């Protein structure tokens, strides 16, 4: 899909790392060619943004399913795909197929499975999967319990200059828990695990990454104790980054009080003091990425007793609106919001996207940050509408989207 003619977007507010700036944007042959003071040329396609935000297309880091209508609704033009597929992405041919699966109007960046069948034992052929298009290595939904295996993985990935994406939850402690140990889990009689299971996993993996000189990313860090460990590691120069999903800064474990399986997540929702710690970590830079955690689950997985339901949420459509709540609450600025959901994940993927930069891909979204709407699980574009934000009022909608300079319908 090639851009038919140059595109000029005028009358908008450009979202840049420096802040919000009035200006225009010109794109040609799928790339941004000028930003700021732009003079349209004869034959250009003109779009008047009418005061809307002109932002980079969002880059979603660590989704479990490719659901293009949902991603387009949410302004997402690229996504890093977790290896937890059927079959898992532990073979070069599967990685190569996944990397082509979204084109031309959506780009999928697969993550190589760290171990064969994601069982946490034998390392997969990372170099071959890198050559097939893998942008990172991921342990999948589970923690690698064997420290020797994890160290070898980090050493191998460091040699290949690939970031390792880890699941931060000590499986020996978490077991079959479906909730965080505390008053709510006790009241509901649910199998639970202490929040410290996350901090123990984070501490071990940081130590191993430091030994290996590897780049390490925790897909979700959701507790104050674990965030303190990440913060301290960054200060001493460890190449560690951290992510989170909106559920863990918007909701606490109070959301499961009626056995709401849409709030059955992994890691589970935490107590409110941890939720507030996540917001602080987003504000001070300890958390680098906010991702949707997109994992649509049908009624066969969710209409079950809470302890039997599968974890996961359909998050692509609500990612932007939930992050914009942090802007309205004064926790972060608008430029920081797009660092979290576009620029930083693109940098971790190693792709020239996620920012309005000359020469980079023309993945662009027009956004009305104040536009109100109601999250409705019955009307979502996702394959399944299992959102913990069902029926919640939201603000912020994408009004137009371009992938490589071509408008997405």
Q: Which residue has the tokens 């960046």?
A: 109
331: tokens are 């926790």
Q: What is the pLDDT along the chain (409 residues), one digit of tens a residue?
A: 688 899 999 999 999 878 899 999 999 999 999 998 888 888 899 999 999 999 999 999 999 999 999 999 999 999 999 999 999 999 999 999 999 999 999 999 999 999 999 999 999 999 999 999 999 999 999 999 999 999 999 999 999 999 999 999 999 999 999 999 999 999 999 999 999 999 999 999 999 999 999 999 999 999 999 999 999 999 999 999 999 999 999 999 999 999 999 999 999 999 999 999 999 999 999 999 999 999 999 999 999 999 999 999 999 999 999 999 999 999 999 999 999 999 999 999 999 999 999 999 999 999 999 999 999 999 998 888 899 999 999 999 999 999 999 999 8
What whole-number distance in Å separates Cα of residue 348 and Cα of residue 325?
A: 24
Cβ proximity of 16 and 356 under 8 Å: yes
> How many angstroms from the chain centroid is the CA of residue 55?
17
Q: Which residue has the tokens 């064969």?
A: 116
What whole-number distance in Å separates Cα of residue 300 and Cα of residue 185?
A: 24
| Predicted TM-score (pTM) of this structure | 0.95
Q: How many other C-beta atoms can be found within 10 angstroms of the C-beta atom of residue 383?
A: 16
1: tokens are 């899909």
Residue 408 lies in a domain: no
Cα torsion 241, 212, 351, 360 to 10°: value is 80
Domain count, the chain: 1
Cβ proximity of 81 and 99 under 8 Å: no
Cβ proximity of 5 and 29 under 8 Å: no
pLDDT at 364: 98
Domain coverage including residue 196: 59-351+371-392
Residue 381 lies in a domain: yes
Residue 71 lies in a domain: yes
Cβ proximity of 9 and 47 under 8 Å: yes
Residue 68 lies in a domain: yes
Residues 6+ apart with CB under 8 A from 258: none
Residue 28 lies in a domain: no
Q: With helix as H, strand as E and coil as C, how does the chain read?
A: CCCCCCEEEEEEEEEECCEEEEEEEEEECCEEEEEECCCCCCCCEEEECCCCEEEECEEEEEECCCCHHHHHHCCEEEEEECCCCCCCCCCHHHHHHHHHCCCCCCEEEEEEECEHHHCCCCECCHHHHHHCCCCEEECCCCCCCCHHHHHHHHHHHHHHCCCEEECCCCHHHHCCCCEECCHHHHHHCCCEECCHHHHHHHHHHHHHHHHHCCCEEECCCCCHHHHHHHHHHHHCCCCEEEEECCHHHHCCHHHHCCCCHHHCCCCCCCCHHHHHHHHHHHHHCCCCEECCCECCCCHHHHCCCHHHCCCCECCCCCHHHHHHHHHHCCCCCHHHHHHHHHHHHHHHHCCCCCCCCCCCECCEEEEEEEEEEECCHHHCCCCCCCCCCCCCEEEEEEEEEEECCEECC
CATH number at residue 148: 3.20.20.140
Burial of 68 (0-12, 13-18, 19+ CB in 10 A): middle
Residue 279 lies in a domain: yes
pLDDT at 334: 96
pLDDT at 369: 97
pLDDT at 409: 84
Residue 10 lies in a domain: no
Residue 38 lies in a domain: no
Burial of 39 (0-12, 13-18, 19+ CB in 10 A): exposed
**Which residues pair with residue 244 across a beta bridge?**
290
């Amino acid at each position: 899909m090639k851009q038919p003619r140059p595109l000029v977007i005028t009358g908008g507010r450009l979202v840049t790392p420096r802040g919000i700036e009035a200006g225009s944007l010109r794109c040609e042959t799928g790339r941004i060619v000028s930003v700021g003071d732009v003079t349209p040329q004869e034959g250009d396609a003109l779009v008047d943004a009418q005061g809307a935000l002109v932002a980079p297309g969002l880059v979603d880091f660590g989704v479990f399913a490719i659901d293009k209508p949902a991603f387009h609704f949410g302004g997402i033009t690229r996504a890093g795909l977790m290896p937890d597929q059927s079959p898992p992405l532990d073979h070069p041919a599967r990685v190569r197929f996944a990397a082509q699966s979204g084109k031309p109007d959506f780009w999928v960046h697969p993550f190589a499975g760290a171990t064969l069948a994601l069982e946490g034992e034998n390392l997969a052929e990372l170099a071959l999967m890198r050559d097939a298009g893998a942008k990172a290595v991921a342990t999948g939904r589970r923690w690698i319990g064997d420290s020797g295996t994890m160290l070898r993985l980090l050493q191998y990935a460091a040699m290949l200059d690939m970031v390792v994406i880890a699941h931060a939850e000590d499986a020996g402690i978490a077991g079959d828990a479906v909730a965080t140990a505390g008053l709510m889990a006790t009241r509901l009689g649910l199998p639970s695990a202490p929040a410290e299971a996350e901090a123990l996993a984070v501490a071990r993996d940081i130590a191993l990454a430091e030994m290996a000189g590897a780049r390490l990313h925790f897909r979700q860090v959701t507790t104050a104790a674990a965030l303190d460990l990440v913060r301290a590691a960054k200060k001493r120069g460890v190449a560690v980054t951290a992510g989170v999903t909106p559920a863990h800064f918007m909701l606490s474990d109070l959301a499961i009080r009626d056995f709401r399986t849409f709030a059955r997540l992994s890691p589970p929702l935490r107590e409110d003091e941890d939720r507030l710690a996540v917001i602080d970590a987003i504000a001070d830079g300890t958390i680098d990425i906010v991702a949707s955690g997109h994992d649509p689950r049908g009624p066969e997985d969710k209409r079950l007793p809470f302890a039997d339901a599968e974890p996961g949420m359909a998050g692509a459509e609500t990612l932007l609106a939930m992050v914009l709540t942090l802007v309205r609450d004064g926790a972060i600025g608008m430029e920081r919001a797009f660092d979290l959901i576009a620029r930083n994940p693109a940098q971790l993927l190693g792709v020239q996207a996620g920012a309005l930069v000359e020469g980079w891909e023309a993945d662009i979204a027009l956004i009305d940050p104040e536009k109100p709407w109601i999250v409705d699980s019955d009307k979502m574009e996702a394959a399944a509408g299992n959102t913990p934000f069902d029926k919640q009022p939201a603000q912020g909608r994408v009004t137009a989207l371009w992938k490589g300079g071509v408008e997405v319908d």
